[in-house]
Amino acid sequence: MVITAPLDHSSRVTPDLHRSRDGARIDVRHVSHRFAIRGEGLPVLEDISLSVEPGEFVALLGPSGCGKSTLLRLVAGLDKPTQGSVQANGLPIDGPDPSRVVVFQDPTLFPWRTVRDNVGLGPEAQRTSRIRPGNKESKVGERVDAALELVGLSKFADAFPHQLSGGMAQRAALARALVNDPQLLVLDEPFGKLDSLTRIRMQGELVRLWQAARYSVLLVTHDVEEALYLANRVIVFSGRPARIVAEVRNDAPYPRHRDDPKLVALRREVLGQLGMDV
């Protein structure tokens, strides 16, 4: 059975996840990256410099295959740049860290664990590895419940991933990211595989979650409307090797309306930067 119950957030008060820290500041400085393929170098990123201010929502927009995910992997600490530096709060990023969480296009839930147990994986791993000895089981349970409530999945805590719709599985992945109280949320085309109505709903949800918290967001997308609906700033990449071709500040107030004339004008500007006439 696939659960497709509509999720009603209208009367819900956003639960407090006991946030204790501000959003991260990210600095990417003169980063170039190349992959070695069959003895040849494949240049993927070329002299990329960008920053994310604490609490800022930045979208990276560029054509498929230009190097967006590669840059996210560098920021997440999953890879090291061939040249240049990547810093979080002024310190070099030299590996993954629970303060920087990544949500990919596929929610990657463990099929044999319930939604609650999938969301609890992060805090659970921290408890068993004794990174946070004060992290008692009851506290973990409270955080998991708050995260599930935050994404509107409380009623489905005991469901298994195969019982969820695509949007709900992605909500569970978001809850698993948020339960760690991140400083930076790294999103790699998180709604790319969802149907268009679910995608629109999830974009609204993401804005609501981000506004209720203080983490910084770095989102990768190839969807111009999505970037403009969500972000404070849109950085436009060229084709591979990715170079920054434009940076568009978007100060339309939240919650945004997709037909806001300001967004429509920015869309024209961004598409123009990507070499498309509209």
- Count of chain residues binding ligand ADP (CB under 6 A): 13
Contact 194, 166 (CB under 8 A): yes
In the complex, residue closest to ligand ADP by CB: 69
- Of 61-100, binders to ligand ADP (CB under 6 A) are 62, 64-70
Interface pick for ligand ADP out of 24, 28, 44, 173 (rule CB under 6 A) = 44
The secondary element (H helix, E strand) that includes residue 139 is: helix 137-150
Q: How far is the CB of 69 from ligand ADP (least distance, A)?
A: 3
254 is an interface residue for ligand ADP by CB under 6 A: no
Nearest to 93 by CA among 174, 214, 183: 183
> 69 or 87: whose CB is closer to Mg ion?
69
Q: How far is the CB of 67 from Mg ion (least distance, A)?
A: 8
Alpha-helical runs (H) found in 129-236: 137-150, 166-178, 196-212, 224-230
> 181 or 188: whose CB is closer to ligand ADP?
188
- Of 2-31, binders to ligand ADP (CB under 6 A) are none
The whole-angstrom separation of Cα 278 and Cα 276 is 6
The whole-angstrom separation of Cα 63 and Cα 37 is 21
Edge-to-edge strands, sheet with 40-52: 40-52, 26-37, 83-88, 91-92
- Of 230-249, binders to ligand ADP (CB under 6 A) are 240
Interface pick for Mg ion out of 14, 32, 69, 89 (rule CB under 5 A) = 69
Q: What is the DSSP letter of 97?
A: B
Q: By CB under 5 A, which span of 42-50, 69-77, 222-230, 265-273 interacts with Mg ion?
A: 69-77
Site string for ligand ADP, 181-220 (x = CB under 6 A): ----------------------------------------
Percent of the chain as helix, strand, coil, to the nearest 5: 35, 25, 40
> What separation in angstroms does the CA of 66 have from each of 20, 214, 228, 260?
36, 30, 20, 29
The whole-angstrom separation of Cα 260 and Cα 257 is 5
> 65 or 255: whose CB is closer to ligand ADP?
65
Q: Which residues bind ligand ADP (CB under 6 A)?
A: 35, 37, 42, 44, 62, 64-70, 240
Q: Which residues bind Mg ion (CB under 5 A)?
A: 69
